[in-house]
Structure formats: structure tokens, C-alpha cells
Structure 1
Amino acid sequence: SKAVELAMSNNPLLKGASASLEASQANRSASLSAFFPTLNFYEDLERTNNPPMVFTYKLAQERFTSRDFDIDRLNNPTPITNWQGRFVLTQPIFNQGREIIGYRLSKVQEQIAALEKTKIRQEVSFQVEKAYYQAILAEKTLDVMTASVETAKAMEGLAAKREKAGLALKSDLLSARVHLVSAERERLRAEGDVKIAMAALDKAMGISQDREWELEPPQTNTDLASRGLEAWLEIARRKRPESLLSKKMVQAAGLKTKEAEFQFLPSLNLQGSYETNSRDLLGTDGDSWSIMAVMSFNIFNGLGDRARLAAASAEERRTRYKDQDINAQIGLEVRQAYFNLITAKKQLDVTEKAVAQAEETLRILKKRYENGLALMVEVLSAETALKQTRLQAAQARYDYMTAMSDLKLKTGVLGNDDES
């Protein structure tokens, strides 16, 4: 649990998922701005002798006089400079559904990002647990190899004693020495495997790979298989992040289809403006205001809207078919994990019994050899069998623990206190 806790704080994949969730939350907040009014300021400078523009600007600057009605002055006006400042306030009312659809999409995308983070958190937890169990297995393997070396040394000593007393052949001593060398080589390899497994655990936790730990053996008293396959399938349908993600993708595709349908509707906005016109930059020779309602309706857009609607509808159907495939795949994965757990539990029970039998076989043969009733090769063969059986038992325990974690991962409850 502490290893998983370290990973939750340090794993870079999880940090990236947190950043993605923060971005989607910010995007949802930004989408709310579409419902609020906007206020913009514009400043334009123009100098012109265009008759209509000169006429208009003089009116706007409130400098128009009766002399300006002179035909010659109207047709050949003196150039005029106009600084126009405008404040424009726009209140969106309905813009083909872009506001509400955009907000709903941003909420769905935030939920998708949250589910992605949950998915990555569970995957990281699984990798940490798997690496932890692998490190435990490596340490157990080292213990088995160390015990094998000690047994080989004891057998070498016994063979030397019997050979010196003339009760055994020289070949017995040589065989015992060869067996000892082989055992020591395997122990050295096991020591290296422990360091590699520890580095892999550090990597899964997202910390420096030169850290070594004293690991507590995992508990194996939880029998997840007793719950039954159908119960786990039901849990997976409710909690597996990939299943929930797929449903959110279908929801998002549906909103995009709705967005394409809304393109056939009109847009309506309210707009107000305050305007100043002056010969100078900061002058206020004349000012005015206006309020208006603006509606637009797309009559013909080259059939592009219909094509976009057809594309969005096809994409929505694709996501629905993909959702069906994902749920079928999840069902298969849960079944595989469940039956793998049952098999792993049975193999663990069998190997633990085999270890006791192998230990008893070696004990009997050692006694028989001491009394000259067995050959050294039989004793060494029994010791090798015991070593292999102990390794198989360690591997079976690792497989069982990993299978439990895998079932939790495949049903979406890994890392959750509530497994229902």
C-alpha cells in the first residue's frame, strides 16, 4: 500500500493525467463564457474626401452647417479627418446551439479526462503491485538459492567425511563439489535479479531506481474467486473505466450530431453600441448610441451543412459499435482473469504440498546415504528436485497474487476500498 501511495505522488503518467484533467476543467469554465455578454472597444482613423463619407462624418461629429448643403461643397468637399471610437456590447441569445452544445461537450470531456485519470491510476497501481510481487519473488528465489548452497555445502562435507573414512567413492565428493559450484552460480544470478526487480519497482513508483527497500510479504488470504464470475462481470459493467469511457464517447458523439443538426437553425443576438466621432484622437465632437437585434438564417451553404450532419451521424454510429466491442472485450478479459485466478490458486495449493513432500524425500535420502544405503547422485537429484519445487511454489504464489490484482484491474476496482 505504501508503494502504491508513492506511485500516486510520483509516477509521471499519473501526473500527466492530472494535468489533462486540469486542462479539461479549465475548458469547461471557458465554455461558460459563451453565455455572457462581450464588450469590445474599437478605434478607427480615416482621412477622406469621399463626398458621402465627408457628409456622414460631419454629421457624426455634429459639425454640419447649412453651408455644407452648397452643391459645390457637397460634390467637392474638403478632406476630413475622423477618429471614431466605439464600444460594442453583444449579448448572445441563440447561435445555432453553439453555446449549450459547447458547454455540454466540455462537461463530457471533463468526465472523460477524469475517467482517463482513473484508468491510468489503476494501471499504475497494477504495475506497482506486479513489480512489488516480482521483487518479493526475486527475494524468495534468492532465499531458495541460498538454502540450496547451504545444503550443497553440507553434502560436500558429508561426502568428504565418508570418502576419508573409506565409505564412499571419490566420485561422490567430486559430484558434491560440482553441485556446490552450480548452486553458488545460481545464487549469484539470483542476487542480480533482486537488484533488477527492485529497480523495476522504483521505476513503477516513479522514483530514483537506486533505492532499495525492505519489502513486507503480501497477504494472500483474500479469495476473490469465491464471489463468482457473474458478480465480477456485473461489477466490471459498472466500474471498469474503459466501459464508462466508451459510454462517454458515445454521449460526446451524440452531442456533435446535435450540433450539426442545429446548423439549420437561425442565430439571434442583441447588440448595443456607443460611438464617438472627432477630428482629434481624444476629442468628442459628436457621440451616438444604438441598440439592435441581429438575426441570421442560413438559406444555402453549398450543402456543406448536410454533409457535416451525415458525417457526425456516421461517427456516432461508429462509437456505438465500438462501445459494443469494448464491452464484449471487457467481458472476455474478466473471464480470463477470473479463471486465471482459479487456476493460480489450485497451482499454489499443489506446489505447497509438493514442497513438503520434496523436503521429506531429501531428508530420507540423506539418512540413507549416511548409512550407505543410497547413492550421492540420488541425494543430489532429490536436492535439485526440492530446489525446483520451492521455486515453483514461489512462482505459484507470485502468479496467485498477480492474478488477484489482474482481476481487480479488469473489473475496475483496483485501488478502491469498495469492491462492490
Structure 2
Amino acid sequence: MKKVFTFIISTSFFASAFSQQTVMISRAEIESKSLDENLQVKMAKSEASLAQTELLGTRAMYLPNVTASYTFTNTNNPLMAFGSKLNQERITMMDFNPDNLNSPKSISNFGTKVEVQQPIINMDAVYQKKAGQIKADVLNIKTERTKEYVQFELKKAYMMLQLAYKMKETLENAKETTLANKKVIDNYFKNGMIQKSEVLYMDVRISEIDSQIQLTDSNIKNASDYLYFLLNEDSKDKILKPTEPLQYNGNLVENDFSLNTSRKDLEAYNKSLEACILMIKSSKAKFLPKLNAFGSWEMYDNKIVQFDANGYLVGFQLSWNVFDGLKSKSEQEKYKSELHKAQTEIEQYTKQSQLELNKAVRSVQDADSKVTFTKQAWEQSREAYRIKKNRYDQGLEKSADLLSAETLMSQKELEYQQAIFEHNTAIAYLEFLKK
């Protein structure tokens, strides 16, 4: 039963492993993918769309406001009763009798009214609309910058996938080398030439490599899932594999590392200043005259759904906000403070961006040096292993020394591959900062 159970577990494991579909993908395919489905880009687009929707509210500055109402009243108030009857066009000489004027009978009134208010000149609303348009433009620019960042993340994730596969390949080669050495050691042990402990050391090394390979398998799946996440695609039962191996991209030859002031995030920051200035102008414009037109059409009767009497009213209104309890003045000071704050933030962000760019340049240079040093160390450890192997075959070295040399060679190769990844990632990040 134990053997059957073990067989079932093994069969299930291999079935699940082979059920995964390996999807080959190239760097060019990654770069050509549409980013519209990326969740971060979608959120940025939603913010831009919200700002554009809020901008629709500024149409009230030139579109009319139309309201309609139907009202019923019943009153014996002398003034209201006489006015209601007058609106209904039912006044007679008897209504001027002092007794009827002073003590009228209750009167019902059904009134229909359509009112139109038409803005003509409202400068504060004009400046608010311009500020709203700039806000929408700023968020559109930020959306484009978000796409650039996601593109960088895709490049980085693809290189992580390359590194994971390269590390697995390196470890599998190390395992083959170790297994080949183990065969020799096993023969020596059978012939009584070495002790059991040396065989056990080799078994420990193989177990260590198997553990590292299992970890790289998880890293491959993690990198693949992250790429699918960035593309907002389903990763179920699928695993990505790069068509190009991890390679060293070469030295950095460019010398101009000055900050691009037209970079989209800096452009968005600077453009937001215009919105602050316009809001200050809008607050000041509240003291300018406002010109608006108005009109109404009214129908009255003492019976429901009857419209025997009607009339209209049209006019223009020129108004000034002479004093509003210093409310507009407070708004001006508020927007001036926000403008000063925004200017300081832009200055800080620009300097931080230049520092980040300088740091990225040094990171590329350091990573380039690291690639050179780790490659040299790998080549030296490989040569040292070759010498140890030859001496071991001649019986001049211990198996522990051979194992140590092989372990060091494998470790240095992994460090070299990691250095290439860091170098390529540093270059991709520098390119992102320079856009």
C-alpha cells in the first residue's frame, strides 16, 4: 500500500507538472504588448477620465439653466388672494370693494412656471474652466508616464525570467559535473581507496544543488506570474519562457546625463502651476461685474390643469460682489500658499530626480565593474577546478578539495549571471529616468 500511495503521489506530481503550458515569448513581443489592460495604467486612466468628467460641470458658465414647476396654493391672505386672482385674469369691479379686499374668500391657484437663467459674462467661471482643463491635461500626462514605468517593469520582469532560467541551467550543469565526479568517487570507495565520509560529502552537495534547482523553479514561476500580472492576463496552467538568453548588454558609452526637463512627470508638475495661477485669477475675478439674463413664462388658473391666464418676464442683471466677508480674499491667500507649496515641491522633485539620475549612472558603472570582476572570478575558479580535477585524477588531491573547487566554480558562475542581470536592469532604469 505504501508503494502504491507513493506511485499515486508521484503520478499526480508529474501530471500537474506536465499540465503546465510553456509559452515562448521574446523581448520584442513584451515591448510591443499593449499596456491598456495593465491595472496601474487603468487606474491612471480612470483618474484622467474623472477629471474630464468634472470638467463637464464648467459648461454651466455658458449654457442656460432651465427649471419648470407646477404649484398649488390656497389662501385668504388679502394681498396673496388679490394677486392670485389678478394672475388668473379674473378681477372684476366687485373685487375692489373694501370688504372684499380686506376679508377675501379663500382662493385656489394652480400655477405653471418655466424659468430660464442664461449666464453671459462670469469671468471667475472662465478661469475655473481653464484650471479644470489643465488638471485633466496633467492627469493625461501622468497616464503616459505611468505607461513608461510599466514598460520598464515589464523589461525588468522579463530579465528576471531570463535570470531564473539561466540560474537553473547553471545549476543543472553543476549537478551533471557533480554526478560525474560522484561516479569516480563511488568506484574509489568500492575499491577501498577512500572513506565513506567522502561519498557522503558528495551526496550532500547533490542534495544542495537539487534544493537550489527547486528554488529556481519557484523563481521561474514567480517571474512568469509577475509578467502575466503586469499584462493583466490569466497565468493559470501557463508558464512563460524567454526566447533570448540572459546576455551582457555592453558598456555604457553615453556621457550626457543631465536631467530631461521635458520628462513627462516634470512636465505634469510644471503644468500644475498654471492651474494654481488660474485659480488665483478666478478668486480675484469674483469682484468683477457679472452679467446674466433671465426670463420666465407663467400660466395660472383656479382649476387644475387649466391655463387660461399667462404672462412672461425677461430681463438682464449686472451684479457686483462688493464685499463677501473677506471670503474671496481668503481664497486668494489659500491659492497663493498652494502655488508657493507647489513651486517648492517642483524644485525638490527636480533636484531629487537629478540625484536619482546621478545615482542610476553610478549604479550602471558599478554594475559594469561587477560584471568584469565576477567574470574574472568565475574564469579563475573554473581554471582552479580544472587543475584540481587533473590532480585528483592523478591521486594528488582529496575529494573534499575537488568538491570545494566545484562548489566555488558554480557559486562564481551564479554571481556572474546575477551581476549581468543587475547591470542590464540598471541600464533599463537609467533609460527610464532619461526619457
Higher mean C-alpha displacement, 347-356 vs 327-336 = 347-356
How far apart are 1:206 and its partner, in Å? 2.6
Q: Where do 1:20-419 residues align within 5 Å?
A: 20-95=47-122, 97-164=123-190, 172-210=198-236, 211-217=238-244, 225-231=252-258, 233=259, 235=260, 237-239=261-263, 241-411=264-434, 413=435
With structure 2 as the length reference, what TM-score do the two structures score? 0.85
In structure 2, what is the Cα distance between the partners aligned to 1:225 and 1:114? 33
Mapped contact 2:293–2:315 kept (Cα < 8 A): yes
How many Å apart are 1:331 and its aligned residue? 0.8
Deviation at 1:114, TM superposition (A): 0.9
Q: Output the amino acid matched with 2:224.
A: M
Secondary structure at 1:385 match in 2 = helix
Shift in Å, 1:340: 0.9
Q: Could you list the runs of 5+ residues in structure 1 that have no partner in the other structure? A: 414-420
The alignment partner of 2:321 has SS state of coil
Counterpart Cα distance in 2 of 1:327 and 1:260: 29
One-letter identity of the residue aligned with 2:384? T
Q: Helix, strand or coil: the match of 1:238?
A: coil
Q: 1:149·1:180 contact (CA, 8 Å) conserved in 2?
A: yes
Structure 2 unaligned residues grouped into runs of 5+: 1-27
TM-score (norm 1): 0.88
1:220 shift after superposition: 5.6
- Does the CA contact (< 8 Å) of 1:54 and 1:79 recur in 2? yes
1:130/1:189 CA distance change after superposition, 3 Å: same
- Say whether the 8 Å CA contact 2:257–2:358 is kept in structure 1: no
CA shift digits 1:385-409 (9 cap, x unpaired):
2111111111111101211221123
- SS where residue 305 of structure 2 aligns? coil
Amino acid at match of 2:75: T
Q: C-alpha displacement at 1:125, in angstroms?
A: 2.4
* C-alpha distance in structure 2 between counterparts of 1:253 and 1:225, whole Å: 41
CA contact (8 A) 1:84 1:278 kept: yes
The 3 A distance-change label for structure 1 pair 230 and 176 is closer
**What letter is aligned with 1:62?**
E
Q: Give the SS at the match of 1:225.
A: coil
Indicate the SS of the match to 2:240: coil
Alpha carbons 2:126, 2:282 under 8 Å: kept: no
CA distance in 2, matches of 1:284, 1:193: 81
Deviation of 1:226 after TM superposition, in Å, equals 2.3
Q: State the distance in 2 between where 1:410 and 1:189 align.
A: 33
Work out the number of aligned pairs and report it. 407
Aligned-pair CA distance for 1:115: 2.3
SS in 2 for 1:198: helix
Cα RMSD of the aligned pairs, angstroms, is 2.5
